[in-house]
């Protein structure tokens, strides 16, 4: 079975970068077949220049996902703030991806809104990323142009539980740039969630306007060709 790919997109505003991260999930016959949790590899990182129009971002993501290995990948977009309008642009463009919109919230809950948007607590995203890092299940190819930037963001990234049991997050849309961290977290969260026994039916509209569906679950998400030469190896 071919590797599966998950793309996280953190949409920046005037003073923030928009960042994209591509995670590869290994085929089941490797780690999963031995009963081990999957190890994800970051295959591509990209920071769009400040001020890049959202329409240009949609076109670039369309270009990246138009052919294997990313054709048919899961695209997880942060819809917090201005993101909702940009998600609408992605829907109108009918990219060949499984588009998922994530609204980042406070608290602890994870649920799906009437419009299909996932409402995900910051703590959930943070926890997934922490587990992967602590267990060495997230690999980053050092040859990637933004690898050092991501490493610096991860160093700045902290979670603190105050005496009042409230979560506060350093380097999470507050002081330091965290766009690459959030892009990776979005992709990793969806990959982890879709790797659970629960099965979710996903229905999308393709470029021809037709409706198609596929089952998500332990068997994994729809993936593209194993053309790994497109990304640096870790």
The per-residue pLDDT for 207 is 37
pLDDT given at position 195: 59
Residue 9 φ/ψ, nearest 5 degrees: -130, 115
The domain defined by 4-230 folds into Nucleotidyltransferase; domain 5 (3.30.420)
**Mean pLDDT along residues 72-96:** 92
| pLDDT for res 46 | 94
Q: How far is CA 39 from CA 7, 27, 99, 137, in A?
A: 16, 10, 23, 4
How confident is the model over 48-56, as a mean pLDDT? 94
- Calculated CA dihedral for residues 132, 138, 144, 147, nearest 10 degrees: 30
Q: For 8-26, what is the mean pLDDT? A: 89
More confident residue, 12 or 207: 12
What's the confidence (pLDDT) of residue 213? 31
Give CA 25 to chain center in angstroms. Answer: 12
3-class secondary structure for the chain?
CCCEEEEEEECCCCCCCEEEEEEEECCCCCCHHHCCCCCEEEEEEEEECCCCCHHHHHHHHHHHHCCCCCCCCEEEEECCCCHHHHHHHHHHHCCCCEEEEEEEECCCCEEECCCCCEEEEHHHHHHHHHHHHHCCCEEECCCCCCHHHHHHHHHHCEEEECCCCCEEEECCCCCCCCHHHHHHHHHHHHHHHCCCCCCEEEEEECCCCCEEEEEECCCCCCCCCCCHHHCCCC
Provide the pLDDT for residue 233: 33
What are 101-159's pLDDT values in tens digits? 999 888 778 899 888 899 998 888 888 888 898 899 999 877 888 888 888 877 776 55
Report pLDDT for 169: 52
User: How many CB atoms lie under 10 A from the CB of residue 54?
Assistant: 17
CA distances from 51 to 18, 216, 228 (A): 9, 36, 31
Q: What is the pLDDT at residue 89?
A: 96
Higher pLDDT, 87 or 81: 87
Q: What pLDDT sits at residue 221?
A: 38
Over residues 188-216, the mean pLDDT reads 49
Q: What are the tens digits of pLDDT across the range 19-49?
A: 999 999 876 565 555 667 888 999 999 999 9
The answer to whether residues 19 and 45 touch, using CB atoms and an 8 Å cutoff, is: yes
- Tens digits of per-residue pLDDT, 151-187? 887 777 655 444 344 555 544 555 456 889 899 999 9
């Amino acid at each position: 079975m071919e590797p599966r790919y998950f793309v996280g997109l953190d949409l920046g505003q005037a003073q923030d970068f928009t960042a994209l991260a591509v995670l590869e999930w290994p085929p089941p016959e490797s780690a999963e077949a031995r009963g081990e949790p999957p190890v994800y590899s970051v295959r591509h990182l990209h920071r769009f220049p400040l001020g890049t129009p959202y329409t240009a971002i949609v076109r670039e993501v369309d270009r990246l996902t138009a052919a294997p290995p990313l054709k048919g990948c899961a695209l997880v977009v942060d819809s917090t703030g201005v993101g909702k309008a940009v998600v609408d642009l992605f829907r109108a463009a009918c990219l060949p991806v499984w588009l998922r919109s994530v609204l980042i919230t406070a608290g602890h809950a994870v649920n799906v809104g009437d419009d299909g948007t996932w409402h995900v607590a910051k703590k959930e995203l943070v926890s997934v990323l922490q587990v992967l890092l602590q267990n060495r299940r997230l690999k980053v190819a050092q040859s990637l142009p933004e690898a050092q930037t991501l490493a610096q963001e991860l160093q700045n990234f902290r979670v603190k539980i105050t005496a009042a049991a409230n979560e506060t997050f350093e380097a999470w849309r507050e002081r330091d740039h965290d766009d690459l961290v959030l892009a990776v977290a979005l992709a990793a969260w969806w990959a982890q969630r879709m790797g659970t026994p629960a099965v979710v039916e996903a229905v999308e509209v393709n470029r021809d306007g037709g409706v198609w569906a596929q089952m998500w679950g332990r068997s994994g998400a729809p993936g593209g060709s194993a053309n790994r030469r497109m990304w640096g190896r870790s």
